Structure 1
Amino acid sequence: MIVNSNSIMESNTMIWFRKGLRIHDNPALDQARRGCKHLYPVFVLDPHYLDPDQTAFSPGSARSGLNRIQFLLESLRDLDASLRRLGSRLLLLRGEPSPVVCRLLKDWKIGKLCFEFDTEPYGLARDKQVKDFASKYGIEVQSPVSHTLFNPSDIIGKNGGRPPLTYQSFIALAGRPVDPLTTMYSLLPPIGETGDHELLSVPKIEDLGYGDISQEAFSPFRGGETEALNKLDQVLEDKAWVAQFEKPKGNPSAFLKPATTVLSPYLKFGCLSTRYFYKRLDDIYTSVGKHTKPPVSLVGQLLWRDFFYTVAFGTPNFDRMKGNKICKQIPWRENEELFVAWRDGRTGFPWIDAIMIQLKKWGWIHHLARHSVACFLTRGDLFIHWEKGRDVFERLLIDSDWAINNGNWLWLSCSSFFYQYFRIYSPISFGKKYDPNGNYIRHFLPVLKDFPKEYIYEPWTAPLSVQKKANCIIGEDYPKPVVNHEIASKECKKKMGEALASPTSKINPLDQKASSSSRKKQHHNDSHEVASLKIKQRKNMK
């Protein structure tokens, strides 16, 4: 019997998972399952993302700390379990993703390839290689947008080919997102022949060559779609809290029960559909009637996410200062000793250090905690380049997201979007107003746990007798402050003012005016800058 190879290819489809690690509201999966005889669900383990890098400052690979690797593996394990319940499974391979996928397309005679559209530069370059290969061999490619509420290209097109640079202008262009898919699957098409390709099971982190990690503190947040949907249900159970949710309100020192949803890691990996999240929130708003509005509401936070994705997608060199037309050119100083002290939680400011220790141990910190340490590193105290801090967050955060991480560092360093550089977080009093007893500091910096509360935020001011009683001598058991905050903050303000006044800063006055106006309308959404424009908060936070 003669078999037509073209008909075989037409009946074989591959769904290539990267993000979008879920079954619910997954347009790429939905398109892939339609009209095919065999469905190949594929994920490629990238050695650069997983293999240990002994030169990195924290345990992990060249691209990620252990917490995010762990979260990814848990998400893959959950996805595999979900696929198995549908009569399929996750086909896991190892190698450089683009060449591996191209080889599979040919060897498995794939006629249609489906994957979620990726907006990041790395993803766009990777996907172009695969699409070019598919085009050469006549393989159909479908790449729907589902990681964001809106297609960034559509928003940019509506704005005359330029990304909107203010939240309000983005909202005016965006409209309402399409509803999520409601398709429920009972069975997926079976997997076809896989030949001699080595198919792996999802590894445990111990299997990746990290040696003894028994002493490592891992994030308390588990990965996967199942966990994401359970967390979403728990969050939305309290409709009053959802309806009244408002940033900038929230306690950055709350760690036993974080004062926010902690759903960002699940959105980052696509374990939770942003459209499904939006729809569930919208249903609650409809049922309760009165609720907060964007930019401070929960829906407002999802829109902020899309805003940054859109600006990042439409801005060349968005992730750097040089060559970035929307970024101020600021002469940040080089000081590796101060940077390492900040990175390792050894600045001598307990509020800052506790946050950095939580980041290292948990892979997650509250958004206001992120603001505190970002301000301290850049325009607040140390005047060190935001790209250095961005790299630390990119490595350690389990919700590290290229567009949002870079966007927030641009914002918080007053390099773009936000320009009120004179508004500085105090590394002493800002945390104290939320946690006067210093419980957060005592938990993450146990060396300070026996300090009286009047000294817990400024232990260097404690008399030597108090330090001895607390079994912690400042300068020996815990470092002295690396800078004098009062002096350093004044110097930073002076440098920022000079940088903005310089013609080389390349700040468009019209853009600055528009952004300032937009922020006033938004009441300074604290998801991206703590400063509210209320008169009572206009003084420097101390």
Structure 2
Amino acid sequence: MQHSSIHWFRKGLRLHDNPALLAAATDCRRLHPLFILDPSRSQAGANAQRFLLDALRDLDGSLREMGSRLFVVRGCPEEVFPRLFHAWGTTRLTFEVDTEPPARRRDAAVAELAARHGVEVIREVSHTLYDTERVLALNDGKAPLTYKRLQSLLASLGPPEKPAPALTREHLRGCRTPCQVSHDANYGVPTLEELGQDSTEVGPHLYPGGETAALARLDAVMERTAWVCGFKKPETEPNSLSPSTTVLSPYLKFGCQSVRTFWWRLDEVYQGREHSRPPVSLHGQLLWREFFYTAGAGIPNFDRMVGNPVCLQVDWDNNPQHLCAWREGRTGYPFIDAIMTQLRTEGWIHHLARHAVACFLTRGDLWVSWEEGLKVFEELLLDADWSLNAGNWLWLSGSAFFHRYFHVYSPVAFGKKTDRDGAYIRKYLPVLKDFPAEYIYEPWKAPRAVQERAGCLVGTHYPRPIVEHGAASKRNMGRMKAARTQKGNESPKRHRAPPAALPPSPRLPSSPPGTKQEPPAGPSMAESPRKKPKIEQC
């Protein structure tokens, strides 16, 4: 039987290593490659939506080269598919497995619709290195809660599968995609404005979306053999003026880049050479991705505090003013504000920069719920991957996986370790660009004459710190210790008023000088020592 197939793109916006797409083209006389823009699901801001539209245009261009086209339809999948099944005479629907709980519910509903319409459904795993359901089954249906436990489970499965062949014209021999002259008007990729976004809000186009850009970036990374072999993620710089990591995460998030292709390209580079090892190597970073995908699939309510069985129940403050200042880069701490400015304008920040601002918002300084930070990242990050975003916010807030809550990122000392002159701050906060290096991280300490020469008066042109870091972090450590002591008791009351704010001083004391680095994001179930912990600043 020759099928009339729909391949439903969601993530997996690529032609390489796409087994579900190959299944759609097998024994197929008519193929409709489909992407559904569901406005009810996306929380992404302008930068991320631009990336998605780039990826869709690139995908459509690649399909055109093979005599096919991409059909972009707007609406809820459960409402769209019955109409398309009928209009296109569909007999087969293929798509890539999505591990996120809301996506699983959506896919189950669509599969039920397909069955009622006599449409065969084929699902293929290719967004993760391993079949997440199989990993969970190996662990008695539970998510592994440590990196080592995940490694043990994966060792029993062997290496990840090799990538599937890329779609070629040969795969589409005898298969056509019906296109009308009105295709672009009816099924074309929309503009940002058509999605309700203001194109003036997007930042510089540093990371164009799409498979073509992804493969070019991967090739460029793989050419740096010594760098790839020596890569240790904790040793990269959070505030370098050009990225000190691969910036492949947005392409992996949207599936423009296959994670299995990335894994095996790395394996080729590693062969016969000395190289770093997990968890800090590039292979190790892909296993961290696998860890959080597995956790997100296996832990109920993974992206929230209440009802999440691994999450510490914390009585966070409800402080919209502090949250807004953090989001807009107006905390009065230049390192934090520069990071948040880069995030808003470019859509990407280094993972250690993410650690610093997440710690500052939650257990370090502002005591605002990690759920609020998660929402901001979901909107602003190009690579706002649901499982990784939730997992890392749980980690950095001290709510799950990581329990050494007395390790706090200093909003002053941490940035100085790799950028003492403050070049990063000067780039993203030009209002401070003329401050001497000795005051660039703490401009409130500069004498009035220095501020005047710099053309920036603290409290007028740039805000004073909204909290005093030393006092806030000490207070919050006590609150975190209390929350851990009460673990297992009834859930805390939500949305209580914050404690009285500490009035900032024009000459705040320096942060403690400690520079001990917090481990890379990922699970560690070690408990805190029995003796009273001391805040360790990095």
TM-score after normalising by structure 1: 0.88
Q: 1-side partners of 2:467 and 2:188: how far apart?
A: 50
Conservation of the 8 A alpha-carbon contact between 2:46 and 2:202: no
Conservation of the 8 A alpha-carbon contact between 1:428 and 1:457: yes
Instruction: Tell which deviates more after alignment, 338-347 or 201-210.
Output: 201-210
Q: 2-side partners of 1:489 and 1:441: how far apart?
A: 23
Q: 2-side partners of 1:143 and 1:206: how far apart?
A: 33
Per-residue CA deviation, residues 368-403 of structure 1 (Å, 9 max, x unaligned), is 000000000001011110000010001100000000
| 2:68 alignment partner, one of 79, 88, 98 | 88
Aligned-pair distance for 1:258?
0.5
Conservation of the 8 A alpha-carbon contact between 1:245 and 1:297: yes
SS in 2 for 1:410: helix
User: Which residue type is aligned with residue 31 of structure 1?
Assistant: A
User: Which residue type is aligned with residue 146 of structure 2?
Assistant: T
Where does residue 526 of structure 1 map in the other structure? Answer: 520
Per-residue CA deviation, residues 28-59 of structure 1 (Å, 9 max, x unaligned), is 1111100011111011122346xxxxxxxxxx
Q: Is 2:448 the counterpart of 1:473? A: no
| 1:324 alignment partner, one of 308, 318, 341 | 308
SS in 2 for 1:37: strand
Where does residue 52 of structure 1 map in the other structure? Answer: none
Instruction: Tell which deviates more after alignment, 137-146 or 224-233.
Output: 137-146
| 2:105 alignment partner, one of 125, 129, 145 | 125
Aligned-pair distance for 1:199?
2.5
Aligned-pair distance for 1:436?
0.5
Per-residue CA deviation, residues 169-228 of structure 1 (Å, 9 max, x unaligned), is 0111113111111345124221147899973221232444445x4464244111000000
| 1:185 alignment partner, one of 168, 187, 190 | 168
Q: 1-side partners of 2:255 and 2:310: how far apart?
A: 28
Where does residue 29 of structure 1 map in the other structure? Answer: 21
SS in 1 for 2:98: coil
Conservation of the 8 A alpha-carbon contact between 2:405 and 2:480: yes
Q: 2-side partners of 1:524 and 1:540: how far apart?
A: 9
The verdict on how the C-alpha distance between 1:149 and 1:525 changes in structure 2, with shifts beyond 3 A counting, is farther
Where does residue 225 of structure 2 map in the other structure? Answer: 239
User: Which residue type is aligned with residue 129 of structure 1?
Assistant: A
SS in 1 for 2:536: coil
Aligned-pair distance for 1:96?
1.9
Where does residue 270 of structure 1 map in the other structure? Answer: 255
The verdict on how the C-alpha distance between 1:243 and 1:370 changes in structure 2, with shifts beyond 3 A counting, is same
Per-residue CA deviation, residues 417-450 of structure 1 (Å, 9 max, x unaligned), is 0000000000001001110010100010000001
Per-residue CA deviation, residues 312-345 of structure 1 (Å, 9 max, x unaligned), is 1011111100000011111111111111111110
SS in 2 for 1:92: strand
User: Which residue type is aligned with residue 145 of structure 2?
Assistant: L
**Gapped runs of 5+ residues in structure 2?**
492-516, 528-533
Q: Is 2:348 the counterpart of 1:364? A: yes
Q: 2-side partners of 1:253 and 1:36: how far apart?
A: 51
Where does residue 103 of structure 1 map in the other structure? Answer: 83
| 1:341 alignment partner, one of 301, 306, 325 | 325
Indicate the RMSD between aligned Cα atoms, in angstroms: 2.3
Q: Is 2:12 the counterpart of 1:16? A: no
Q: 1-side partners of 2:63 and 2:488: how far apart?
A: 55
Determine what percentage of the aligned residue pairs are the same residue: 50
The verdict on how the C-alpha distance between 1:505 and 1:444 changes in structure 2, with shifts beyond 3 A counting, is farther
Where does residue 281 of structure 1 map in the other structure? Answer: 266
Q: How many residues are aligned here?
A: 500
- Tell me which stretches of 4 or more aligned residues in structure 1 moved more than 6 Å: 193-198
SS in 2 for 1:47: coil
Per-residue CA deviation, residues 60-115 of structure 1 (Å, 9 max, x unaligned), is xx711100000000000000000011110101122223311232112211111000
Conservation of the 8 A alpha-carbon contact between 2:396 and 2:521: no
| 2:54 alignment partner, one of 54, 74, 87 | 74
Conservation of the 8 A alpha-carbon contact between 1:219 and 1:363: no
| 1:460 alignment partner, one of 402, 426, 444 | 444
Q: Is 2:140 the counterpart of 1:160? A: yes
Conservation of the 8 A alpha-carbon contact between 1:16 and 1:41: yes
Aligned-pair distance for 1:121?
2.0
Q: 1-side partners of 2:487 and 2:129: how far apart?
A: 38
Q: How is 1:393-472 mapped onto 2 (pairs within 5 angstroms)? A: 393-472=377-456
The verdict on how the C-alpha distance between 1:199 and 1:186 changes in structure 2, with shifts beyond 3 A counting, is same
Aligned-pair distance for 1:478?
0.4
Conservation of the 8 A alpha-carbon contact between 1:376 and 1:427: yes
Q: 2-side partners of 1:77 and 1:195: how far apart?
A: 18
Conservation of the 8 A alpha-carbon contact between 2:395 and 2:521: no
Q: Is 2:232 the counterpart of 1:252? A: no
**Gapped runs of 5+ residues in structure 1?**
1-6, 50-61, 508-522
Instruction: Tell which deviates more after alignment, 179-188 or 137-146.
Output: 179-188
SS in 1 for 2:459: coil
Where does residue 511 of structure 1 map in the other structure? Answer: none
Q: 2-side partners of 1:102 and 1:171: how far apart?
A: 42
Conservation of the 8 A alpha-carbon contact between 1:326 and 1:416: yes
Instruction: Tell which deviates more after alignment, 467-476 or 185-194.
Output: 185-194
Q: 1-side partners of 2:481 and 2:84: how far apart?
A: 56
Q: 2-side partners of 1:224 and 1:39: how far apart?
A: 21
Q: 1-side partners of 2:296 and 2:112: how far apart?
A: 24
SS in 2 for 1:475: coil
Aligned-pair distance for 1:488?
0.3
SS in 2 for 1:454: helix
Conservation of the 8 A alpha-carbon contact between 2:147 and 2:522: no
Conservation of the 8 A alpha-carbon contact between 1:101 and 1:130: yes
SS in 1 for 2:271: helix
User: Which residue type is aligned with residue 119 of structure 2?
Assistant: I
SS in 1 for 2:235: coil
